[in-house]
Homo-oligomer: A and B are copies of this chain.
């Protein structure tokens, strides 16, 4: 940490800063120039609070030397992390598609969708059994019954399962049924939940908070890594914007930015990120072109009857078409999406 003090700073002010820096137990170096006094100490990350120095007399700026991202950040020469989900590798050359309905509604629905999703080359089946609904009066999910339906259908079609978890008490149950545990946008900064998930090894898909900066999101991932769970997949799903015509704005620039800042894989959710099915296919193509390692997409065979988020779910033939277009985009950038499975 370097603390820069202006030329009007008195010796007393300078000594106050030196003393405070020394409270970290580190030596302080002092550089003098015509315009500044620069005080430097080899302080680690959050040992000392940057803002605190900014409030001291005579201080004009503070330079932090070390990133707050200890484990999520790319180290020199470090390879990109590939998260292995029971054989499905996320973060490698293959672009992984996760698809299914917003909510698990019935066995018939899931069986039908699982077959179709697998036939098109997707590798994971998505579906919510616990739903974080903005209104307490909205459909709240089928719970464990829904998870069992999801897992049975996935097993029958060679798919893995991703499903959302809402509280610490559900961890054990989710581990039993899901190959990836999803943390939704509303729980991204639920740090007690993250600490609990850090103690297991099941892969976690961490969605970005809709009002969260990229830094805050990476620090939420840091909670997982620091606590012992290295299997983290990031998911951009749209952030708040001032344009009320849109629910959200899918921040595709987060993909290359995270790609430079972190070794973790990152995927996109164009369904929640756009809110309307007519925009899902172009934004899916764009996400892959921007470098996403996968997609999380909603599909439904009867979206007008869906118990949640119907208007953003792709219809079956739209999904097939989207997969075909995305396959070409993946190839254009030297990656691939699994071919349709004729047997299904």
Residues of A within 8 A of B (CB): 2, 4, 20, 29, 31, 33-36, 38, 40, 42, 45-46, 49, 51-52, 54-56, 61, 63, 65, 68, 70, 132-139, 166-169, 186-187, 189-193, 209-216, 219, 222-223, 226-227, 239-246, 249-253, 255-257, 259-260, 273-274, 276-279, 282-283, 285-291, 303-312, 325, 328-329, 331-333
Contacts and interface: CB of A to CB of B under 8 A. Distances in A.
30 contacts: A2-B36, A29-B33, A36-B65, A51-B310, A52-B305, A52-B310, A54-B311, A55-B276, A55-B303, A61-B63, A167-B168, A187-B189, A211-B240, A213-B243, A214-B246, A239-B241, A240-B242, A243-B251, A245-B257, A252-B252, A282-B289, A285-B289, A285-B290, A286-B286, A286-B287, A289-B290, A325-B332, A325-B333, A328-B332, A329-B332
Interface centre among A65, A138, A243, A253 (most CB of B within 10 A): A253
Given A167-B192, A286-B286, A213 B54 contact: no
Contact of A211 (B209, B260, B278, B287): B209
A133 B216 CA distance: 10
- Residue with the highest number of chain B CB atoms closer than 10 Å, among A4, A38, A259: A38
A88 B241 CA distance: 35
- How many copies of the chain does the oligomer comprise? 4
Given A253-B274, A308-B49, A311-B51, A245 B215 contact: yes
Contacts of A307: 49
Contact of A38 (B31, B227, B241): B31
A217 to B, nearest CB: 10
Contacts of A260: 278
A253 B239 contact: no
A4 B167 CA distance: 40
Interface centre among A29, A214, A290, by most B CB within 10 Å?
Answer: A290
A143 to B, nearest CB: 12
B136 A226 contact: yes
Contacts of A42: 34-35
A68 B135 CA distance: 7
B286 A289 contact: yes
A100 to B, nearest CB: 18
A216 B133 CA distance: 10
Contact of A253 (B20, B68, B226, B249): B249
A31 B30 CA distance: 10
A245 B239 CA distance: 14
Nearest to A16: B304
Contacts of A227: 136
Contacts of A273: 253
A45 B137 CA distance: 8
A224 B329 CA distance: 36
A329 to B, nearest CB: 5
Given A253-B279, A308-B49, A333 B136 contact: no
Nearest to A308: B49
A333 B285 contact: yes
